[in-house]
C-alpha cells in the first residue's frame, strides 16, 4: 500500500524559507517511472502544482515560482524535500505531495493528507 | 501550459447525470492528451477519479466517465448520489501540471 505524509512547520514568518518533507512508503523513488510532485491549495482556492522530482533525479518547477523553489530526494530515507524561499502571506496554503507512476497512470495518485502552512508575522 | 477553465458550480438531483467541462486556452489540442480529474471533499485531500482523459483508476465507480473534444475535456457523473457532492478539478499534464479553477458540485 502506497502512503505519503507531509510534514513541516505550521507557521512561518514572512521572508523566511519554508522546508517541507514528504515521507512515503510502499514504493521506491529509485524505481523507473516514479515521479513525486508537490501541490498547494490556499484556503478556499484552487490547486496549484509546484514542483516534481523523478526517479532519475530530473526536476521540474512551476514557471511562476521556479526562482523560489527547490526539490530534492533522499531515496534511502524515502523522503522528498521541498524548499520555498522568501515566504509571503500569499503562500499560506495546504501543501500536498502526490505520486505519479508515469508508466501506468498519468495522474496524481495517491495524495498525502496535506499540511497547512500559515505565513504570518 | 495554458490555463484550464471550469464552471464555478454545477448542481443536479439524485439519480440525474451532470457534466463538468474543462476548457484549455491553448489552440494546441495535443496539450490535452493527459487530462485527469480529481474529487475533493471538504477538508480532505484530492482523489484521482479519471486519468488519460477517460480511464478510471481501480476502485472508482463506473458512474464517473471522461471524454474530450478538441480543447475541451468533460467529466460526467451519472446516477448522482449525495456522496458525489464535492469539488472537482481537471488537470492537464505534459511534463508539468496545470489545474483548473475547480467546480463545486451540489447534489440537490
- Predicted local distance difference test score (pLDDT) of residue A57: 96
Residue B4 has which C-alpha cell? Answer: 484550464
- Predicted local distance difference test score (pLDDT) of residue A43: 97
The b/e string for B50-88 (b: 16+ C-beta within 10 A; e otherwise) is bbbbeebbeebeeebbbebeebbbbbebeebeeebbbbb
C-beta atoms of B48 and A113 within 8 A: no
The DSSP letter of residue A17 is P
CB pairs under 8 A between A and B: 68
Q: Which residues contact B104 (CB under 8 A, 6 or more apart)?
A: B8, B9, B10, B87
pLDDT over 90 (residue A96): yes
Q: How does pLDDT run across A57-89, given as a tens digit for each residue? A: 999 999 999 999 999 999 999 999 999 999 999
Q: What is the mean pLDDT of chain A?
A: 97
Residue B21 has which C-alpha cell? Answer: 467541462
Report the pLDDT averaged over residues B9-31: 86
- Predicted local distance difference test score (pLDDT) of residue B70: 86
C-beta atoms of A49 and B52 within 8 A: no
Report the pLDDT averaged over residues A33-40: 97
Q: How confident is the model at residue B53 (pLDDT cuts 50, 70, 90)?
A: very high
All residues of chain A having their beta carbon less than 8 Å from the beta carbon of residue B59 are none
Distance, CA of B91 to CA of B103 (rounded, Å): 12
Amino acid at each position: 500500500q502506497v502512503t505519503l505524509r507531509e510534514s513541516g512547520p505550521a507557521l512561518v514568518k514572512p521572508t523566511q524559507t519554508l522546508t517541507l518533507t514528504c515521507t512515503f512508503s510502499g514504493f521506491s523513488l529509485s524505481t523507473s517511472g516514479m515521479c513525486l510532485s508537490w501541490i498547494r491549495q490556499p484556503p478556499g482556492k484552487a490547486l496549484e502544482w509546484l514542483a516534481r522530482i523523478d526517479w532519475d533525479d530530473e526536476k521540474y518547477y512551476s514557471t511562476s515560482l521556479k526562482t523560489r523553489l527547490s526539490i530534492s530526494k533522499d531515496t534511502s530515507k524515502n523522503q522528498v524535500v521541498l524548499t520555498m524561499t522568501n515566504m509571503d502571506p500569499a503562500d499560506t496554503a495546504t501543501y500536498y505531495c502526490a505520486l505519479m507512476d508515469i508508466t501506468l497512470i498519468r495522474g496524481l495518485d495517491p495524495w498525502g493528507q496535506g499540511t497547512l502552512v500559515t505565513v504570518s508575522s | 501550459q495554458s490555463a484550464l477553465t471550469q464552471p464555478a458550480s454545477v448542481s443536479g438531483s439524485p439519480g440525474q447525470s451532470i457534466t463538468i467541462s474543462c476548457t484549455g486556452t491553448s489552440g494546441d489540442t495535443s496539450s490535452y492528451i493527459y487530462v485527469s480529474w480529481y474529487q475533493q471533499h471538504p477538508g480532505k485531500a484530492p482523489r484521482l477519479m479519471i486519468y488519460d482523459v477517460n480511464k478510471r483508476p481501480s476502485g472508482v465507480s463506473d458512474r464517473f466517465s471522461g471524454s474530450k473534444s478538441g480543447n475541451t475535456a468533460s467529466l460526467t457523473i451519472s446516477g448522482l448520489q449525495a456522496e458525489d457532492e464535492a469539488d472537482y478539478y481537471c488537470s492537464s499534464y505534459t511534463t508539468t501540471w496545470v489545474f483548473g479553477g475547480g467546480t463545486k458540485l451540489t447534489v440537490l
